[in-house]
Structure 1
Amino acid sequence: MPRRRERVRAGRGRRGLWWVLVGAVLVAGGLGGIAVWQNTYALREEHVTLRHDGHRLEGVLARPPAGDGPFGLVVFVHGDGPVDATHDTFYRPLWESFARAGYASLSFSKPGVAGSEGDWLEQSMDDRAEETLAAVAWARKRPDVDGRRIGLWGASQAGWVLPKVAARDRGIRFVIAVSPAVNWLRQGRYNLLAELRRDGADRHQVEKAMRRRETTLRLLRRGASYEEYRAEVGDSADISPGRWRFITANHTSDAVADLRAMRGTPVLLALAGHDVNVDVAETEAVYREILPASTLRVAHYPDATHALVDHDTESSSLRLTATAVFAPRKLYAAGFLDRQTRFLRRLGAGEGAA
């Protein structure tokens, strides 16, 4: 009898374990299904290529889910870093919001990223503007694109590219600028001090960082080589030779002249309340001073970070990952996606800036 009871208990234990495993599989399958569903967008994506400056660029054209067009088009201009066409899928909620307004979206991976040829660190802001103009010209040849309704979307470093493109191509219908900087050197100083405050740096740490910054600026002004930079600054783990060349080529960037030249283009300026990268107060002041009030709309997102992600979400790696997997549209600050949809719809209705 004791052995029989042991066999009965063992059988029950195995059956219990079986149901636990079945339950785990069902839960995992259910969560997997939710993740797939939440990451499925009402879009038709087409892989496209562009030849520019001797290189092939790989990209994505995301059209609304139905119809032959011609559709209005939003051409994406990336911020800093090695960004691919989808920005690691981060752009898809934006593309979907534009599709709701009847617009397609076009985005190319940066040179040297995700199959695109070249090296983005070899580009100046003028180079990036010429690349964007080439993308616009390419799009105007497509029968499914309405060449009279092409505009730009760009974030952060794109603040030095968007105005150049809109100034050089007066056929650009609109600009959506997200967390754009105005002056490279002032932006760098603001970012440095904001990060030091965020990290709780003491007075000595701040002074040391500012001395290093002044040394770096002196080297940039005289066009110093990377080797000279390393010799004077010492620790250069955060700056590669390519990055130093990129900074050397672009550190004098300032958007003011190009903003003046693009006056009259409808602009939606999106600014975050927790931006440690860009001084949004300066950006707003400059845009309001230069651009006509009739064509400029400013949208504030007090609870957002530089990337227009909800601040509380970005502050928790667990919450950020869970949101990205199971509710990617909620990564962005409340109202951000809808505001852009309304902006484009009102442009289509002939109401100018939204």
Structure 2
Amino acid sequence: MPKQYPVLATQAMRWAAFLFGLASSVCSHAEDATRAAPVPWSAPASVSVVEEEKTFENGPTKLSGTLYLASGRKPQSAIVVTHAAAFPLRDLPLYRHLKEMLPALGVAVFIYDRRGSGRSGGDLQTSDYALLADDAIAAVRMLKADVRIDPRRVGIWGLSQGGWLALLAASRSPEPAFIIAASAPLVSPDVQMMFRSINVMRVNDYPQADIEQMIATRKAVDDYMRGTGDRPTAQRLVDAAKTKPWFKLLYMGETVTDRATSRWRKEIEFDPLRTLEGVKVPALVIYGAADPVVPVADSVERLRVAHPKFDLAVIAGADHAMRLSVPPRVQMDPARMHEEAPESAEYFAILASWLTRQAIARP
């Protein structure tokens, strides 16, 4: 059985919950506050965080990111961030809690633009999970060469697809020293997207007949990609669905591409559970109990049965991004996804105390 991490079981974790919960509550004002001129009564902070632009290479591709680290403290641990599918850039609110909180615990944070996005080169459309994982490995290797970073304590934090990539990176290379995978579905991508699609239609009050049409459409496309269905049938169903108002919520293309060259075919052949067999370093897997995007119950059960070596936590009331106060319809609105930022004190407490227990965080 995976170890169920005891929540708030020690004084250190209670302090972490208070401090990180408080920090989360003022998170939306933090950026403005740091830019404002100091007030006359201000005092110097205990920890000063330095931001540095850094580039690294994976083969011929140059990628660019920002390193956040405590000034004057060395050597320190470090975390490389791997992106969720919908979040390719370094400057999203989702990552604010990492760069504002972890440097104070002696953990530097490196967030880079995913290949093909922002200031990073390369082409996402010609990549696969292995190549994206290798990008993260290259970032870990770059940080290990920094004299301010302890090369024995550099790991990866990822959310959703980024959680898969973090685990995949650790299975492909001994470079990462630890892994934190948040909201990482441990089912194949087609199963996860069917789960998400059903829920997004439910929260938007579409009738069951429309949900059944969506299921038939997704299944036809996935059957064709797996070689058990035909392309004309799949395209006919997509043509009928693309006129519906709910089609834009599904992240489906209007044209069924040739399975011989389809990126989606390559993705649905990936079973993240097999990835875990090669992970030999400490790993924390975290889920929100109220996540409408990832089948948490199935993911947890698969993890318990197949891989009992990881620390596992399911956060009460939390959604895909570890929020507590956002209604499901807003959670699943593609136009609002860039606003995601964790707010669960339990998540912050588990993150801080696990890093401390692993001797990664050193306040």
- TM norm structure 1: 0.75
Structure 1 Cα separation of the partners of residues 328 and 215 of structure 2: 28
Unmatched 5+ residue regions in structure 2?
Answer: 1-27, 37-46, 332-337
Q: Could you say what secondary structure the match of 1:304 adopts?
A: coil
d(CA) in 2 for partners of 1:225, 1:121: 24
Q: 1:34 to 1:139 in 2, by over 3 A?
A: closer
- Displacement of 1:265 after TM fit? 2.2
The change in CA–CA distance for 1:79 and 1:224 in structure 2 (over 3 A counts) is farther
In the other structure, the counterpart of 2:50 is 44
- In structure 1, which of residues 129, 132, 142 is the aligned counterpart of residue 133 of structure 2? 129
| Pair 1:202-2:207 in alignment | yes
Instruction: Say if 1:98 and 1:344, in contact at 8 Å, map to a contact too.
Output: no
Cα shift readout 1:166-213 (whole Å, capped 9, x = no counterpart) = 122234222111100112122122212222332233231122111111
1:303 to 317, 321, 324: 317
Deviates more, 1:50-59 or 1:125-134: 50-59
- Give the conservation status (yes or no) of the 8 Å contact 2:323–2:343: yes
Query: Whole-Å Cα distance in 1 between the matches of residues 113 and 343 of structure 2?
Result: 22
> What is the alpha-carbon distance in structure 1 between the residues aligned to residue 329 and residue 203 of structure 2?
12
Amino acid at match of 2:84: G
Alignment of 1:1-354 (within 5 A): 36-37=32-33, 43-64=49-70, 66-86=71-91, 88-182=92-186, 183-222=188-227, 230=235, 233-234=238-239, 235=242, 238-240=251-253, 245-262=262-279, 264-293=280-309, 296-312=310-326, 331-348=342-359
Structure of greater Rg: 1
What's the CA shift for 1:270?
Answer: 1.4
Residue type matched to 2:265 in 1? Answer: T
Measure, in 1, the Cα distance between the counterparts of 2:165 and 2:230. 26
Could you tell me which residue of structure 2 aligns to residue 4 of structure 1? none
Amino acid in structure 2 at the alignment position of 1:253: F
2:185/2:294 contact within 8 Å kept: yes
Task: Letter of the 2:113 partner, please give it.
Answer: S
Distance 1:200 1:231, change over 3 A: closer
Secondary structure of residue in 1 paired with 2:56: strand
Taking only aligned residues, the RMSD between alpha carbons, in angstroms, comes to 3.3
Q: Residues 207-233 of structure 1: CA distance to partner in whole angstroms, max 9, x if unpaired?
A: 211111121112212499999965652
1:314-333 CA deviation, whole Å, 9 max, x = no partner?
7679xxxxxx99xx98x522
Q: 1:162 to 1:33 in 2, by over 3 A?
A: closer
Give the gaps of 5 or more residues in structure 1: 1-31, 318-323
Q: Distance in 2 between matches of 1:336 and 1:226?
A: 44
CA distances 1:274-315 after superposition (whole Å, capped 9, x unpaired): 21110111121222233345xx32222222211112233776
Determine what percentage of the aligned residue pairs are the same residue.
Answer: 21
Number of aligned residues: 305
Any conservation in 2 of the 1:160–1:253 contact (CA below 8 Å)? no
Q: More helix by proportion, 1 or 2?
A: 1
Q: How far, CA to CA, are the matches of 2:97 and 2:230 in structure 1?
A: 42
* Distance change in 2, residues 1:209/1:314 (3 Å): closer
Find the aligned partners of 2:229 and 2:98 in 1 and give their Cα distance: 41
Normalised to the residue count of structure 2, the TM-score between the two structures is 0.74
Alignment CA distance shift 1:349-1:312 (3 Å): closer
Whether the 8 Å CA contact 2:63–2:112 is kept in 1: the answer is: yes
Q: Which amino acid aligns with 2:267?
A: N
Higher relative contact order (CA 8 A, sep 6+): 2
Q: Could you tell me which amino acid in structure 1 is paired with residue 221 of structure 2?
A: T
Letter in 2 for 1:257: R
Runs of 4+ more than 4 Å apart: 32-35, 38-42, 223-232, 240-244, 313-317
How many angstroms apart in 1 are the aligned matches of 2:169 and 2:196? 26
> What is the rounded CA distance, in whole Å, between the counterparts of 2:87 and 2:328 in structure 1?
20
Letter of the 2:269 counterpart = T
Give, in whole Å, the separation in 1 of the partners of 2:252 and 2:194.
Answer: 17
State the alpha-carbon separation in 1 of the partners of residues 86 and 212 from structure 2.
28
Q: Is the 8 A contact 2:224 2:231 kept in 1?
A: no
Q: Deviations over 1:6-44 (max 9, x none)?
A: xxxxxxxxxxxxxxxxxxxxxxxxxx9876127899521
Tell me how far apart the structure 2 counterparts of residues 334 and 267 of structure 1 sit (CA, whole Å): 20
| Structure 2 equivalent of residue 23 of structure 1 | none
